[in-house]
Each structure stands twice: as structure tokens, then as C-alpha cells.
């Protein structure tokens, strides 16, 4: 799609017209009237005043007489009130400091005859995500160290010029120690600062700011004080998502604060319409739009699920937003004979949305979609679908460091499947129970409860041995996927190298995994396990499996919070031989 060009005729007229909204008159609504007809939907949003922009394939752009930096629009946008955000369509409060609204800025540009060039991705991000809230502490908090300037090593003495922030102690020590890696040394990236060292420095600074001793945090996290010390100094490679989540929970912060990145949402074009669709249609009120036949909508939902299972999120989301709205219409206001089929298709579409939003790091959207899927299954009185939806929701709840809620969600759904028969003609309830056991195994492994994790893995393996390989809703429950989840649990428990050796010794260890998403996940976990070798003897094998994981599922693996730290840690340890493969992986770090 070409860049959108807004001129006087495009901007001034909509500013004088009333904004089209849903029948309830909601602010910031996303009208889907043209989406059902196969056209690109319009986007109405209060953040840009009464401006309505329709995304179309633009004709060749005329010469621009004057360009305006999009940052000006962004700065003005922060002062406008209201807006539909990422949190299920809830409105964000306006800031206290009055700032010139973006509508006034754009209107002034239009009055002067200026043309403003805005890329489509940035435009959609401004329209649907006007002030995306990044989970973490507010600016200037001592828990959030400022990164050093690009390619500039800090002063080993730690002295700082007036107006600059003193670098963390671990960074000063690394710069002063002879023969050790230093920020800004050739071969590093992300502004010359190691991601592993950055995570350690942030972890230490967050701990000290809260007055927590190293021993207390180690006890709370279930690790030794010496292990935590090596993590904080950057001497130990962090390979476990669960440990990162445990630190965040113990310190009362988010994983994003410790990794130094906002929650990664590179796919604004993917997520923005999904967020708007979930806020536009509810069980109590749906838009007055035409809906296609349920059979066609169900087929499209299954196609989106197939694409999502192969980590093709852009393809999967192509018509997903319109599907969500139209399926809501059919499930709530459609013919009575079609409502059950519409609810089943809506549950699948919401499960697809959960997977896409979770993999791209937009956990609030994933939670809203998960709750909508569970509600659809409850209306169907289908415990199997409720189990699948609860399993996906529990994984998201664990990602936002709410393990008690995740355990409760999965345990409650599993209790409703206590009569699941794996020998039935259609063992769908046993599949759902098996996936819930796998989710509970991972949750307990992240909490370092080895006995509970292994007990749930044993239950899942027993069910898988009787059901065989199954593919209901693309969850791929069976012996192959159970083995892959078993490896992930061993990685979280830091028992990875030996278990990984057992996996790769099996000929065709990927044979039972059909979807590229599951293949990429297994290869990524093999990398994590081999990287746990304290001597670094398996680092080349870790790099090889990490490369395979990225090639299989680039959108999923590239957005994993451990991808960058793994690449950086393997480079810093210096035990690898394949420099070309490492260099290729470094170019893929976002």
C-alpha cells in the first residue's frame, strides 16, 4: 500500500462534518459497514479530532511542497483526550498537561495548503493506538536506567558530566575490568550495549530501588544467590522465560522493564483492526452491518487458524477483524438455526486472535480475545472448546506475570473435563484435557515446582498415548507435541542439555509436528537447552537450532523476548565457531 497523502480537500472537509460512529454513538468507534462488502474499512477516532481517513490504494503521489515530521503530530496527539487503546477498547485518560490537539495542527496545515505525508502503518498506530501504555515504571524512575549513547563507552570512573545520568554499577565494572567485554566494543549491537548485560543491570537496579537484598530475591525466585549474582553481572546466560517472569513478579514490574524493550508489537497493521473489532462488537450490542453466511465465515475462520498455526500472522489476520464482527452479529442477532455454528466459529476466530496477539506481544488484546472465546464456548455448553480457550488464556495470563490467575483458569477448566475419555470415537475432550495438563506443567515448571510439573507431563503423555496425533482447532495434541512441551518444561527447570540430547538422538524428531509454529517452538527450546551448558560446549548446536527456529517461524521467534538475549549471550561467551551464522542471527534481532 502506498503512503497516504492528506491535503486540504482531504482534511478540511471531514473536520467540518460530524463523525460517523456506531449506533450507540461510541467515541473512537471502528465502523465495519464497508468491511463486510470486502472493502477496506474506515477508521474514525477522536484522537485526530473529527478526521476520518479511508485507507485505499493511492494514486501516484503529487510532489510534496512541504513535509511535516510525524513526531509533531505524535506530540500533539498525546494531548488530545480519549481514544480506543489496546486494552480491550477501554478509554485512556487524558494527560493533565494541556497540549495542542492534533486536529488543530492538521487543520492549520490544511488551511495553509500544506500536504502531510503519513505512512499507513504509522497512521493506523496513531488512529487505533493513540497512546499505547507501555507496561513498566514511569519515566525518571530509578528502576529504569538510561541506555548509554551509541558506540560510546562509559567513563570507567563512573563520573558523569552535568545533566547526564550515571551508568549502572555493573556497566561501570564491565568497562573498567581489563580483558572483558565493554559497551561500544565492535561486534556488539543495540547501541553498543549487550542485551544480557543490560538485563542484568536492570535487574540489579530494580532490586536495589525496591530495597530488596540479593539473597531475598534469590530465595523468592527459587535460585541460589550466586546464580543471581552472575545473572546481574552478565556472566550467566538467561535462557528461561519463567525465571524472567518470576523476577518481574517478585519485583512488582513487567518483563518489558527488565528486557529494556516495550512489549513488542511490530504488527500494528495486524493488531489494530483486531483490537478495534473486539471493542466494536459485544454480546449485548453488535454493529448494524450485513453479515455473510455462517458456513462461509466458519470456512474463513478455519483458514485463518491454519495460517496462524504456521506463524503467518499477516495472512491469518487479513479478514479476521471483519470475521470477528460478522460472527458476533450472526451469534447474537442471526437466525436461531445458525447461532450454534456461529458461536463455534466465533470461538475459533477468537482463539486465533489470542495466538496472534500473544506471539506479537500484545497481551491485553490476547486476554480480551481469550475471554470472548471462553464466553462463546460457555454459550455452546461445550467443555472441550472451553478447555482449549482456557488453555490459551492461561498461557497469556502467565506472560503478564499473573500465575495465580493462570493456574486457576487452567485448573477450573480441567476439572470440567474430569470424565474425558481418550478412547472415545471423538476424543476431543481428552485432547483439551491433555493441553491443559501441558499448560499446567509449564506453569509449575516456571514456578520451579518440579514434582507438579512432571506429574502433569505424565498425565498428558498417558492421554496422548491413547488418543494418538490429533489436530482439533490446530492444537496438535499427541505424543509429538507432548514431547515438545516436555522439553520446554525441562528448559524452564534448567535441566535442558541432557533432555535435548535425548530429543535430537531420535531420528525425525520433528516428524510428528505438522505446523510450522510447533516446529519453530521445538527448535527454539532446543537452542535454549543447549545454551544452558555452563561450559558452552554446545553453543554451535544452540546457534544451529536457533537459526532453524527462525527460518520455520520468523514472526513468532523474532518476537520472543529471549531471542535477542540468546544471540547476545552466545556471542559474549565466545565458544562458538560459526561466526557467519551468528552474524546472520544478529541481523534478525529487532
As a whole number, mean pLDDT of residues 43-65 equals 32
Partners of residue 54 on adjacent β-strands: 42
Q: Mapping DSSP to helix (H, G, I), strand (E, B) and coil, where does residue 188 land?
A: strand
Cα torsion 578, 582, 584, 585: sign: positive
Residue ranges matching CATH 1.10.260.40 in the chain: 136-146+189-262
List the one residue out of 361, 285, 355, 281 whose CA is nearest residue 322.
Answer: 281
- Residue partners of 482: CB distance under 8 A and separation at least 6: 434, 438, 457, 460, 461, 464
Q: Which grid cell sits at 244? A: 524472567
Exposure letters 323-332 (e unless 16+ CB within 10 A, then b): bbbbbbbbbb
The CA distance from 485 to 211, in Å, is: 37
Residues 43, 108: Cα–Cα separation, whole Å: 22
In this prediction the pTM is 0.63
Q: Beta strand pairing status for 116-118 and 4-6?
A: antiparallel
- pLDDT tens-digit series, residues 398-433: 988 889 999 999 999 999 998 999 999 999 999 999
pLDDT interval class at 141 (50, 70, 90): very low
Q: Which residue would you say has higher pLDDT here, 109 or 156?
A: 109
Q: How confident is the model at residue 111 (pLDDT cuts 50, 70, 90)?
A: low
Q: Which CATH class is domain 136-146+189-262?
A: mainly alpha
Asked which of 62-66, 343-347, 437-441, 584-588 is least confident by mean pLDDT, the reply is: 62-66
Instruction: Assess whether pLDDT exceeds 80 at residue 85.
Output: no
Q: Kindly write down the DSSP assignment for every residue of 269-296, as one continuous string.
A: HHHHHHHHHHHH--SS---------HHH
pLDDT of 269 reads 58
Using DSSP's 3-state secondary structure scheme, residue 425 falls into: coil
Amino acid at each position: 500500500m502506498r503512503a497516504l497523502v492528506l491535503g486540504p480537500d482531504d482534511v478540511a472537509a471531514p473536520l467540518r462534518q460530524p463523525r460517523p460512529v456506531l449506533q450507540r454513538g461510541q467515541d473512537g468507534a471502528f465502523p465495519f459497514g464497508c468491511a463486510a462488502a470486502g472493502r477496506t474499512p474506515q477508521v474514525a477516532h477522536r484522537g485526530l479530532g473529527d478526521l476520518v481517513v479511508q485507507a485505499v490504494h493511492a494514486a501516484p503521489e503529487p510532489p510534496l511542497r512541504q513535509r511535516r515530521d510525524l513526531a509533531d503530530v505524535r506530540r500533539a496527539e498525546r494531548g488530545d483526550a480519549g481514544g480506543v487503546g489496546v486494552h480491550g477498547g477501554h478509554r485512556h485518560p487524558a494527560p493533565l498537561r494541556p497540549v495542542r490537539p492534533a486536529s488543530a495542527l492538521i487543520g492549520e496545515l490544511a488551511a495553509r495548503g500544506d500536504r502531510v505525508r503519513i505512512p499507513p502503518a504509522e497512521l493506523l498506530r496513531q488512529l487505533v493506538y493513540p497512546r499505547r501504555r507501555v507496561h513498566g515504571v514511569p519515566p525518571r524512575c530509578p528502576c529504569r536506567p538510561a541506555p548509554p549513547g551509541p558506540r560510546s563507552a562509559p567513563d570507567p570512573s563512573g563520573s558523569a558530566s552535568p545533566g547526564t545520568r550515571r551508568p549502572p554499577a555493573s556497566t561501570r565494572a564491565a568497562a573498567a575490568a581489563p580483558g572483558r567485554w565493554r559497551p561500544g566494543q565492535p561486534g556488539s549491537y543495540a547501541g553498543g550495549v549487550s542485551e544480557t548485560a543490560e538485563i542484568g543491570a536492570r535487574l540489579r537496579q530494580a532490586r536495589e530501588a525496591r530495597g530488596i537484598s540479593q539473597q531475598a530475591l534469590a530465595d523468592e525466585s527459587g535460585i541460589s544467590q550466586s546464580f543471581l549474582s552472575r545473572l546481574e553481572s552478565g556472566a550467566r546466560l538467561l535462557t528461561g522465560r519463567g525465571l524472567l517472569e518470576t523476577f518481574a513478579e517478585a519485583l512488582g514490574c513487567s518483563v518489558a522493564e527488565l528486557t529494556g524493550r516495550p512489549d513488542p508489537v511490530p504488527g500494528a497493521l495486524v493488531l489494530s483492526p483486531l483490537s478495534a473489532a473486539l471493542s466494536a462488537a459485544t454480546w449485548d450490542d453488535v454493529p448494524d452491518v450485513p453479515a455473510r453466511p455462517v458456513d462461509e465465515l466458519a470456512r474463513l475462520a478455519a483458514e485463518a487458524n491454519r495460517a496462524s498455526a504456521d506463524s503467518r500472522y499477516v495472512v491469518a489476520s487479513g479478514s479476521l477483524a471483519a470475521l470477528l464482527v460478522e460472527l458476533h452479529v450472526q451469534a447474537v442477532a442471526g437466525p436461531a438455526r445458525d447461532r450454534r455454528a456461529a458461536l463455534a466459529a466465533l470461538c475459533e476466530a477468537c482463539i486465533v486472535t489470542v495466538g496472534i496477539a500473544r506471539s506479537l506481544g500484545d497481551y491485553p488484546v490476547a486476554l480480551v480475545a481469550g475471554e470472548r472465546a471462553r464466553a462463546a464456548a460457555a454459550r455452546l455448553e461445550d467443555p472441550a472448546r472451553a478447555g482449549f480457550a482456557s488453555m490459551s488464556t492461561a498461557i497469556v495470563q502467565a506472560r503478564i506475570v499473573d500465575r495465580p490467575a493462570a493456574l486457576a483458569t487452567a485448573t477450573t477448566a480441567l476439572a470440567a473435563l474430569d470424565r474425558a475419555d481418550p478412547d472415545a470415537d471423538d476424543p476431543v475432550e481428552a485432547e483439551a484435557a491433555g493441553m491443559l495438563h501441558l499448560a499446567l506443567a509449564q506453569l509449575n515448571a516456571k514456578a520451579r515446582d518440579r514434582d507438579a510439573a512432571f506429574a502433569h507431563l505424565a498425565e498428558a503423555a498417558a492421554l496422548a498415548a491413547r488418543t494418538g496425533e490429533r489436530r482439533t482447532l490446530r492444537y496438535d495434541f499427541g505424543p509429538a507435541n507432548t514431547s515438545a512441551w516436555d522439553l520446554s518444561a525441562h528448559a524452564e527447570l534448567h535441566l535442558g542439555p541432557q533432555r535435548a540430547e535425548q530429543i535430537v538422538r531420535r531420528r525425525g524428531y520433528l516428524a510428528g509436528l505438522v505446523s510450522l509454529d510447533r516446529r519453530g517452538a521445538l527448535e527454539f527450546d532446543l537452542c535454549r537447552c543447549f545454551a544452558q551448558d555452563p561450559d558452552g560446549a554446545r553453543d554451535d548446536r544452540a546457534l544451529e537450532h536457533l537459526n532453524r527456529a527462525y527460518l520455520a517461524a520468523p514472526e513468532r521467534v523474532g518476537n520472543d523476548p529471549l531471542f535477542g538475549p540468546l544471540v547476545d549471550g552466545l556471542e559474549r561467551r565466545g565458544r562458538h565457531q560459526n561466526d557467519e551464522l551468528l552474524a546472520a542471527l544478529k541481523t534478525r534481532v529487532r
